[in-house]
Chains A and B, each alone.
Chain A
Amino acid sequence: NAGVTQTPKFQVLKTGQSMTLQCAQDMNHNSMYWYRQDPGMGLRLIYYSASEGTTDKGEVPNGYNVSRLNKREFSLRLESAAPSQTSVYFCASSGGQSKYTEAFFGQGTRLTVV
């Protein structure tokens, strides 16, 4: 059972380039999330999707877009990367029949924007 799978694991971008981070979960979870983790800032929510077909902004959405492609997949797009977006990005999922279930995380994508 793979859980939450993120691709790629590492990426280096030049300022202004675009890219999409992919996330898929095989636990039949309703909710999916994108976080970024920065030293001294902790984990901050970028966007989340409470269910298939819905997305909402989190704490730091500027510069990002998301797509909930289907129940399994939730992608994060950087349209024009900036050095401030250098971070470790985590995808997570939670919920089956209940919104009270625990969250599971992917292994992360380490993104460097030069």
Chain B
Amino acid sequence: KQEVTQIPAALSVPEGENLVLNCSFTDSAIYNLQWFRQDPGKGLTSLLLIQSSQREQTSGRLNASLDKSSGRSTLYIAASQPGDSATYLCAVRTNAGKSTFGDGTTLTVKP
């Protein structure tokens, strides 16, 4: 059974810092890995999708990497802003029908 772990559970940083969020998974036979953002009381917003054959994806200040063999992904946020405060979730798809989610990392960026 696929298990997905996100560490740390919570992170607080001052504005302007670069930071890394971690996601690890136990079964390396994945189709893809997707990073989401969730604001309080809202749905999930897709940030980046990395296919199993890819090593990284970039969107603006966000960069996600994938090391399938070691079962790890990181989400790098450059020059953090208070508006980046949210919970970040990673999800691993191991077959066409199912994704397993981590519990998320709650990020607070202080002005």
Contacts and interface: CB of A to CB of B under 8 A. Distances in A.
Interface string A71-103: 000000000000000000010100100011111
A11 to B, nearest CB: 15
Nearest to A45: B98
A48 interface: yes
What is the interface of chain A mostly: helix, strand, loop, or mixed?
strand
Contacts of B91: 43, 103
A43 B101 contact: yes
A64 interface: no
Nearest to B6: A42
Nearest to A44: B101
A61 interface: no
Interface residues of A, number: 24
Interface string B77-111: 00000000000010100001111011110000000
Interface residues of B, number: 21
Given A99-B96, A100-B32, A102-B49, A107 B102 contact: no
A50 interface: yes
B61 interface: no
Interface in A22-57: 31, 33, 40, 42-43, 45, 48, 50, 56
Contact of A50 (B42, B44, B96, B99): B96
B46 A100 contact: no
B34 interface: yes
A95 B93 CA distance: 12
Given A99-B96, A100-B51, A102-B34, A42 B101 contact: yes
Interface of B: 31-32, 34, 36, 42-46, 49, 51, 89, 91, 96-99, 101-104
Q: Which 3 A-B pairs have the closest CB atoms?
A: A99-B96, A43-B101, A102-B49
11 contacts: A40-B103, A42-B102, A43-B101, A45-B98, A48-B98, A50-B97, A95-B96, A102-B46, A102-B49, A103-B91, A105-B46
